[in-house]
Amino acid sequence: MDEKQEFHFAAGAASDRRTPLRWVVWHAVRRWPLLALGTFGAIGNALTASAAPVLFGKAVDLMRSDAPSRRTLLLYACGIVGAAFGRVLLQFARSASFEFVAQRVERDVRDELYRSLLGKSMTFHSLQPVGDTLARATGDVRQVNMLFSPGLNWVLGSVMFLFVPILVAPRYHPQLIAAPILFVILYVVVLRAYLRMLTPVTEAVRERFGELNTRLSESLDGIELVKGTANEETERRRFSQVATDYRDAYVRQGDVEARFLPMVLFALTLGLGLLHALLLYRHGKLDIGQVIGYYGVLMLLDFPTFASMFAYSRVITGMAAAKRVLELMNRRTDLDQNRGGYEGELRGAVEFRDVAFAYPGGDEILRDLTFRVEPGQTVAIVGMTGSGKTSLVKLINRIHDATRGTVLVDGVDVRDWHLEALRQGISIIEQDIFLFSKSIRENIAFGRPQASEAEIVAAAEAAQADEFIHGFAEGYDTVIGERGVSLSGGQRQRVALARAFLTDPAILILDDSTSAVDSATEDRIQQAIAAAAAGRTTFIITHRLSQIRWADLILVLRAGQLDAVGTHDQLMATSDAYRRLFQD
């Protein structure tokens, strides 16, 4: 599926993901009333800013006259004060509007990115570094926020201030338009060159930021291995290197920004403009108050000069960040949510027809799989390590999609199922159990948040977990560490079993799910699994004969192919590969 799909918000709108610019503009336009208010504030702020120097110049000329009017001077003074207060209100309107836009765009972008990531296939997540994803979801999304505020906020305000001197200067003398026009022309030329140099540098900074987070994430995720092998110093050097690369990239950005010297243009404009005005005054074409007023108007160019030193950098950095976020969302994935797909009640029939599977760019690890499982049957999948057992069951709930052939559930191709409806009817428990850093109750109820206390306790009792849970001081309210590190392996697996039992799935998949429990607990769990398997299709991946014997059907995999199918007694009599599994 092409991930340049449109993202639908609650209001029914759809984002335009074709280019970063279109995407950013689309998000901004959705807040057009705030943008309109901000633009009004920017225009009004620039115009009222010109009132003070103009009125001050008039006041100077009035004071130099033979009979200055106190009333008129008072009006000029009130006008200057009123313009100052007006500027405060208009500037607040501009800044507040853009800040609201920035915060709401950041919220929408985070939501859009999160939804997109949830819709990606496991193939995508297997290849995409978690640290880089987190960097884009946090740092880059935040940079998109800063693109609007202070970025576009100051850019729009500064652009308005560029035009005011051009509009006001001719009111004093037509020739005085030369200095502000020259400034604008040179400003645009220099700014264009500056942005052309800055763009690739800011993109490099964001890339180094992603690499830094990837290195940090991998080091912390594998901290047990790092410490267990005494590799702390090696990891420190590796992290130091990526941190140095990030620093160097930032220094290069600072170097480019330092070369942008709009203050030189501003100083030249002030000097030349004042000289021009004084020459006109010398020839009697201007009054001294007009010279002062004109110089005050030229001083308005100070704001675009100052703002350009970092506002455009925020915009370019924000666009580079938007490019990274959009690239992640648009990255192709083979997973299709198929929201208009089949949503019937899942009974549990599973069929594979000439199925093959390979990871992108790799060889096929499953080939020519054909078998059928009736609803309610218990199926054991056995084979040597690396034979493809786990990959096989992950094709049933579309964690991965078959690269060739068809996988059917209840006679319907899994690609034609509504993905949510399909997965709600399937529970899978793997050997590597993932638990959230929440309470035990919340972990058990993850698949059914609305479950009652009695249902949660019943599921825990069925999984032989209730006894050890009550051993904790806070019982079911005990908060476990990240990934359940505060629990033993057997305890984690029993919590995962309880979570699966609570969802009451039509298809239950157990991937070596009792490998970390003692023999006594395993016997109790086997009884619970046998009871839970009644009336539902159950797939068990295991090497334990005690679990395989009572399966209705046994699939023997060898090197990714189906070597034999049958019951335990049948395979012991007919399959050399099956017999060797138990002899070894």
Q: What is the CATH number of the domain that holds 571?
A: 3.40.50.300
| Digit-coded pLDDT (tens) for 20-77 | 999 999 999 999 999 999 999 999 999 999 888 988 888 888 888 777 788 888 898 8
Alpha helices (H) along 309-360: 311-330
Q: Are residues 361 and 417 in the same domain?
A: yes
What's the pLDDT score for residue 236?
85
356 in a domain, yes or no?
Answer: yes
DSSP state of 403: S
173 and 293 in a single domain? The answer is yes
Based on the fold, state whether residues 293 and 385 are members of the same structural domain: no
Q: Both 302 and 162 in a single domain?
A: yes
The Cα–Cα gap between 136 and 127 comes to 15
Q: Among 302, 330, 358, where does a domain finish?
A: 330
**Burial tier of 10 (Cβ tally within 10 Å: 0-12, 13-18, 19+):** exposed
* DSSP structure class, residue 398: T
- Token reading at 401: 């999609």
Identify whether residues 169 and 305 lie together within a single domain: yes
- Could you tell me if 293 and 406 lie in one domain? no
The DSSP symbol for 415 reads G
Q: How many domains does the chain have?
A: 2
Single-letter code of the amino acid located at 552:
D
The residue type found at 183 is: F
554 and 524 within one domain:
yes
Peptide bond connecting 150 to the previous residue in cis, omega within 30 degrees of 0: yes
Q: What is the domain-level CATH number for residue 176?
A: 1.20.1560.10
User: Given this model, what pLDDT does residue 413 score?
Assistant: 92
- In b/e form, how buried is each residue of 148-171, taking b as 16+ CB within 10 angstroms? bbbbbbbbbbbbbbbbbbeebbee
Give yes or no: residues 384 and 499 share one domain.
yes
Determine the Cα–Cα distance for residues 467 and 456; give it in Å rounded to an integer. 13
pLDDT of residue 3: 42
**Type of residue numbered 99:** E
Do 312 and 390 fall into the same domain?
no
pLDDT for position 337 = 65
Is the CB of residue 146 less than 8 Å from the CB of residue 318?
yes
CB of 4 closer than 8 Å to CB of 14: no
Residues 52 and 174 both lie in one domain = yes
Q: Residue 305: inside a domain, yes or no?
A: yes
- Record the tokens describing residue 331, joined without a space: 């990255």
Does residue 561 form part of some domain?
yes
337 falls within a domain: no
Is the domain of 102 the same as that of 164?
Answer: yes
Q: What is the pLDDT of residues 283-315, one digit of tens each?
A: 989 999 999 999 999 999 998 888 887 888 889
Residue 524 tokens read as 């109790």
Instruction: Judge if 357 and 306 occupy the same domain.
Output: no
| Residue of 160, 175, 161, 185 lying closest to 290 (CA atoms) | 175
CB of 411 closer than 8 Å to CB of 375: no
Full domain range(s) for residue 427:
350-583
The C-alpha angle with vertex 440 and arms to 223 and 119, in degrees rounded to 5, equals 70
Residue 42 lies in a domain: yes
In this structure, are residues 508 and 536 in contact, taking their beta carbons and an 8 Å threshold? yes
What's the confidence (pLDDT) of residue 550? 78
Measuring CA to CA, which residue among 20, 163, 37, 49 is closest to residue 99?
37
Mean pLDDT by runs of 10 across the 584 residues of the chain is 44 73 91 93 91 88 79 88 91 93 93 84 74 87 92 90 91 92 91 88 88 82 72 83 90 84 87 93 90 92 85 89 90 66 87 90 88 90 85 88 91 88 84 81 87 90 84 87 72 83 86 62 66 78 76 88 87 82 67
pLDDT in tens, 179-212: 999 999 999 898 888 888 888 998 898 888 888 8
Q: Is 239 a member of any domain?
A: no
Q: According to the model, what pLDDT value does residue 527 have?
A: 66
DSSP classification of residue 5: P
Helix/strand/coil for 161? helix
In a domain, 216, yes or no: no
Round the CA-based radius of gyration of the chain to a whole number and report it: 35
Judged by DSSP in three states, 451 sits in coil
Domain membership of residue 545 (yes or no) is yes
